[in-house]
Structure 1
Amino acid sequence: MIEARQLTKRYGDKVAVDGVDFTVRPGAVTGFLGPNGAGKSTTMRMIIGLDAPTAGTVTVNGRRYAQHSAPLREVGALLEARSIHPGRSAFDHLMALAYTHGISRARVSEVIEMTGLQSVARKRAGAFSLGMGQRLGIAAAVLGDPQTVMLDEPVNGLDPEGVLWIRNLLTGLAAEGRTVFVSSHLMSEMALVADHLIIVGRGRVLADTTVRDLVLQAGGDTVVVATDDPAELRRVLVGPGVEITGHPGSEQLTVTGLPAREIGRKAAEHGLVLFELTAKTVSLEEAFMELTKESVEYHAASTTGRAA
């Protein structure tokens, strides 16, 4: 478990992390999302002691990272895949880490196989592709068989097979009861693997929620329906938690709080003919963009209307 309480980091006049509170619980994949400059990397660096908080605390399994006698066995982290000696082989890099914690050679061989590095295990890591570098970084993160795994952008450079592999790895680790904390800009992947989300912007927590709840909040439970008797359809559909809007004289209604299937069933039961029944789908990416639109630090200039 990772617990942050009023965690703050300042660099001179700049506040990178501003009093954040969150808990990353075991048994689930928690996605850590935010625009560039939101404070994600700084927060992760403070979790494993690479940066010292200006104020507040952050603990892993009840202790600060530095207080663990064998930190690799408590939390495995990938923050920068290229932070390895380029002249070492993948095997030697992992063995050097293993020696510091009394981890066996057999475990090194096990994680090499787990991460698909068998064919390049004896090659110098400096010649690795970005994808192979990511695999080596993940191998180092899981080397100590830790209860907590924290990965920053783990799918960078991976091919489709590699993306599927990391997806299965993350869900598998969570299913074993481990704490899994993952930062990513790939919303499509987060939508598939994350059970919980912590979203930050300008150093503050904007949301601590689930994918489903965030999408629903952004209008993901909206259905557009059209009929020749909208007044009667409105009467049929009205109920607790149901919101219905429409313009006078229009055959079209917008319904929130009822799925399309239920609307269609109720209409059929009352003999109402529907001309349209369309569920409005909001993606995690759209919900994320809406939530963080005021927290984006770097905006691209619009090219609309400019000559090529």
Structure 2
Amino acid sequence: MIEIHQLVKRYGEKTAVDGLDFTVRPGTVTGFLGPNGAGKSTTMRMVVGLDAPSSGSVQVNGRRYDRHPAPLQEVGVLLEAKSIHPGRSAFNHLNALALTHGIPRRRVEEVIELTGLTQVARKRAGAFSLGMGQRLGIAAALLGDPQTVMLDEPVNGLDPEGVQWIRNLLTGLAAQGRTVFVSSHLMSEMAQTATNLIVVGRGKLLADTTVARFIQDAGGQSVKVLTPQASRFRDLLAGPGVEVTGAPGSEELTVSGLTARQIGTLAFEHGLPLYELTTQAVSLEEAFMAMTEDSVEYHGSTTPPSSPAPALARSTA
């Protein structure tokens, strides 16, 4: 379990983390979401004592990280996959970590097999691809068989098979009753992997909820309706709590506030033909974008740069 109470981190005049207060509980995968610069990495660094809080507290499994006699066996962490000596082999890197914590060699071999590194275990880690480096970082995080696992962007650089593997790994760890805390910018993966969400923006807590409730609060779902009498049906659908949108003259309507069953019943009662009736759920990405719209520090332009005017040819006369 990770317990964070009124956590604040300042760098000079900038407040990177501003009064965060939440608990990451065992038995579930908790996603940690936020725009770039929201304070996610800083928060994770404070969990394991790499940054000291300006105020507030962080505990892992009931203690501060530096108070655990064998921290690698309490919390496994992936913050920067490439933070290894490039001249060491994957096996020697993991074995060195194991020796400092009294972890047997057989556990090194187990995590190498678990993370798919068997064929490259004796190769220099400095020659690894980004994806293989991620696997090695995850192997190091799991080396101590910890009850708490905290991973920052674990699918970065992984191929589709690797992404599916990490998804199954995380849900499997949670099913064993472990605490799993994962940050990612890939909303599709969080939607498939996480059950709970912690969402931050500009260092502040924006949401501490389940994925289902987060999506529901963002608008839940709508129903796509296709009918040749869209204009008439729009008038019939109108009522308190019902929103109907659609382009003038179009046969397609989008309805919020009524279920597909209610819409179909209404059409039947008034003898209106329906070509399509499809429930459309708001995606996690859409819900996230709506919530964090005002918390994004770095906005890119959606307008492509204009081509420079062609230079005038110089006269050679």
Output the TM-score relative to the length of structure 1: 0.90
Q: CA deviation at 1:102?
A: 0.9
1:146 maps to amino acid = P
- For structure 1, which segment, 280-289 or 33-42, has the greater mean C-alpha deviation from structure 2 after superposition? 280-289
Deviation sequence 1:57-99 (CA, Å, 0-9, x none) = 0111111101111111110000000111111111111111111
Structure 1 unpaired stretches of 5+: none
Deviation sequence 1:211-269 (CA, Å, 0-9, x none) = 222222222322244664566656xxx8xxx821359x999876434432x22553477
Distance in 2, matches of 1:289 and 1:218, equals 10
Report if the CA contact (8 A) 1:244-1:254 is conserved: no
Q: CA deviation at 1:135?
A: 0.3
Output the TM-score relative to the length of structure 2: 0.87
Q: CA deviation at 1:101?
A: 1.3
Q: Which residue of 2 aligns with 1:273?
A: 272
Distance in 2, matches of 1:166 and 1:292, equals 26
1:244 maps to amino acid = V
Q: Which residue of 2 aligns with 1:244?
A: 242
2:265 maps to amino acid = K
RMSD: 2.3
Report if the CA contact (8 A) 1:77-1:141 is conserved: yes
- For structure 1, which segment, 91-100 or 222-231, has the greater mean C-alpha deviation from structure 2 after superposition? 222-231
Q: CA deviation at 1:169?
A: 0.3
Q: Which residue of 2 aligns with 1:21?
A: 21
**What secondary structure does 1:293 align onto?**
helix
Q: Which residue of 2 aligns with 1:122?
A: 122
2:241 maps to amino acid = E
Distance in 1, matches of 2:293 and 2:51, equals 28
* Rg larger in structure: 2
Distance in 2, matches of 1:150 and 1:268, equals 51
Write out aligned runs for 1:194-233 (5 A).
194-225=194-225, 228=232
- Say whether residues 1:111 and 2:108 are aligned partners: no
2:285 maps to amino acid = E
Q: Which residue of 2 aligns with 1:156?
A: 156
Distance in 2, matches of 1:126 and 1:252, equals 55
**What secondary structure does 1:63 align onto?**
coil
Distance in 1, matches of 2:131 and 2:279, equals 38
Flag the 1:32–1:273 CA change in 2: closer, same or farther, 3 A: same
- For structure 1, which segment, 279-288 or 179-188, has the greater mean C-alpha deviation from structure 2 after superposition? 279-288
Distance in 1, matches of 2:282 and 2:305, equals 28
Q: Which residue of 1 aligns with 2:294?
A: 294
Q: Which residue of 2 aligns with 1:140?
A: 140
Report if the CA contact (8 A) 1:244-1:253 is conserved: no
Report if the CA contact (8 A) 1:233-1:272 is conserved: no
Structure 2 unpaired stretches of 5+: 309-317
Report if the CA contact (8 A) 1:222-1:279 is conserved: yes
Distance in 1, matches of 2:71 and 2:38, equals 27
Q: Which residue of 2 aligns with 1:52?
A: 52
Flag the 1:230–1:114 CA change in 2: closer, same or farther, 3 A: same
Q: Which residue of 1 aligns with 2:262?
A: 263
Q: CA deviation at 1:40?
A: 0.3
Distance in 1, matches of 2:305 and 2:53, equals 46
**What secondary structure does 1:38 align onto?**
coil
- For structure 1, which segment, 264-273 or 203-212, has the greater mean C-alpha deviation from structure 2 after superposition? 264-273
Q: CA deviation at 1:287?
A: 1.2
Report if the CA contact (8 A) 1:267-1:274 is conserved: no
**What secondary structure does 2:6 align onto?**
strand
Distance in 2, matches of 1:26 and 1:233, equals 45
Count of residue correspondences:
300
Report if the CA contact (8 A) 1:149-1:181 is conserved: yes
Flag the 1:43–1:232 CA change in 2: closer, same or farther, 3 A: same
Flag the 1:245–1:128 CA change in 2: closer, same or farther, 3 A: closer
2:17 maps to amino acid = V
Distance in 2, matches of 1:292 and 1:272, equals 43
Distance in 1, matches of 2:87 and 2:11, equals 34
Report if the CA contact (8 A) 1:243-1:255 is conserved: no
